[in-house]
């Protein structure tokens, strides 16, 4: 089954404690991205990757890091989480130039206290 | 930052009403326009991917049109049902280099009252 898998689904953590949210896709997609969703602000892109070892900042990259060492995985790293990073996070993947849709993970609800 | 605007922000309709929403996007460097349906507590799911000016796509009671020259797309729902209640997102995909990323609008929240 084609899918994007995010883990964990829910996470409560404390300010400053490094965390990683994993994202894995099994569709051989080149393009992967991370979004955060906040009330009234829609889906805002944090980082994206167009292929292995190719990553770039989205619209709200501050406080986040990513890596793309393998095509299927695109982890989101918060080195020192702060309360303003409390949000709902989605990972998505798609083909770059194919006219097909993006597939989304199940979402990660992160709370930083 | 690319400007993708959706209107209205929210909409309440009665069961059986037909409704439509608008997505505005840049008319230059167009590659594709996506529509997604996002139910509460779930992930966004694709409705349509549209690429050609004048495109019309249909899935059941939902249809969409595309005008790339003027930079807008309409999503129509005929005979709304309570299960249509969701946020409808459009996303613009540009062409060339980093423009291939998907830029989302803020969505239109549709509530269909029984």
Using CA atoms, how far apart are residues A46 and B29, in angstroms rounded to an integer? 22
DSSP bridge partners of A4: A25
CB contact under 8 A, A58 and B101: yes
3-state SS, residue A82? coil
Two structure tokens written together for A4: 């994007």
Using CA atoms, how far apart are residues B86 and B109, in angstroms rounded to an integer? 6
Widest Cα–Cα separation across chain B: 46
CB contact under 8 A, A102 and B91: yes
Q: What is the pLDDT of residue B29?
A: 85
Is residue B39 a contact partner of residue B109, using CB atoms and an 8 Å limit?
Answer: no
Using CA atoms, how far apart are residues B78 and B16, in angstroms rounded to an integer? 8
CB contact under 8 A, B101 and A35: no
Q: Spell out which residues of chain A touch residue B107, defining contact as CB-CB under 8 Å.
A: 42-43
Q: What is the pLDDT of residue B1?
A: 65
Using CA atoms, how far apart are residues A99 and B64, in angstroms rounded to an integer? 16
Cα torsion B100, B101, B107, B110: sign: positive
Tell me the mean pLDDT in the region B13-32.
93
pLDDT at B98 over 60: no
Tell me the mean pLDDT in the region B86-102.
81
Q: What is the pLDDT of residue B27?
A: 86
Is residue B40 a contact partner of residue B111, using CB atoms and an 8 Å limit?
Answer: no
Q: What is the pLDDT of residue A41?
A: 86
Nearest CA to CA, how far is A100 from chain B (Å)? 6
Q: What is the pLDDT of residue B99?
A: 55
pLDDT at B86 over 90: yes
Q: Spell out which residues of chain A touch residue B49, defining contact as CB-CB under 8 Å.
A: 99-101
pLDDT at B97 over 70: no
**pLDDT tens track for B41-52:** 899 999 999 999
Q: What is the pLDDT of residue A42?
A: 84
Which parts of chain A register pLDDT below 50?
A: none
Q: How many contacts does A have with B, using Cβ atoms within 8 A?
A: 53
Using CA atoms, how far apart are residues A49 and A37, in angstroms rounded to an integer? 19
**pLDDT tens track for B51-69:** 999 999 999 999 999 999 9
Of B36 and B27, more confident: B36
Q: What is the pLDDT of residue B57?
A: 96
Q: Spell out which residues of chain A touch residue B1, defining contact as CB-CB under 8 Å.
A: 59
């Amino acid at each position: 089954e084609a899918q994007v898998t995010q883990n964990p689904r829910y996470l409560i953590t404390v300010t400053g404690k490094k965390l990683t949210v994993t994202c894995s896709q099994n569709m051989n997609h080149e393009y992967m991205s991370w979004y955060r969703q906040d009330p009234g602000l829609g889906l805002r892109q944090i980082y994206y990757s167009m292929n292995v070892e190719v990553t770039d900042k989205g619209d709200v990259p501050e406080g986040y890091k990513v890596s793309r060492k393998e095509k299927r995985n695109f982890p989101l790293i918060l080195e020192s989480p702060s309360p303003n990073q409390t949000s709902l996070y989605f990972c998505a993947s798609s083909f770059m130039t194919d006219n097909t849709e993006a597939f989304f993970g199940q979402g990660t609800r992160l709370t930083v206290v | 930052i690319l400007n993708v605007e959706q209107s209205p922000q929210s909409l309440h309709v009665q069961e059986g009403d037909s409704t439509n929403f608008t997505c505005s996007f840049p008319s230059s460097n167009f590659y594709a326009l996506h529509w997604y349906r996002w139910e509460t507590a779930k992930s966004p799911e694709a409705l349509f991917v549209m690429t050609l000016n004048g495109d019309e796509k249909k899935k059941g009671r939902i249809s969409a049109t595309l005008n790339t020259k003027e930079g807008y797309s309409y999503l129509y729902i005929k005979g709304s049902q309570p299960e249509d209640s969701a946020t409808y997102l459009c996303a613009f995909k540009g062409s060339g280099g980093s423009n291939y990323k998907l830029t989302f609008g803020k969505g239109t929240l549709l509530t269909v009252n029984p």
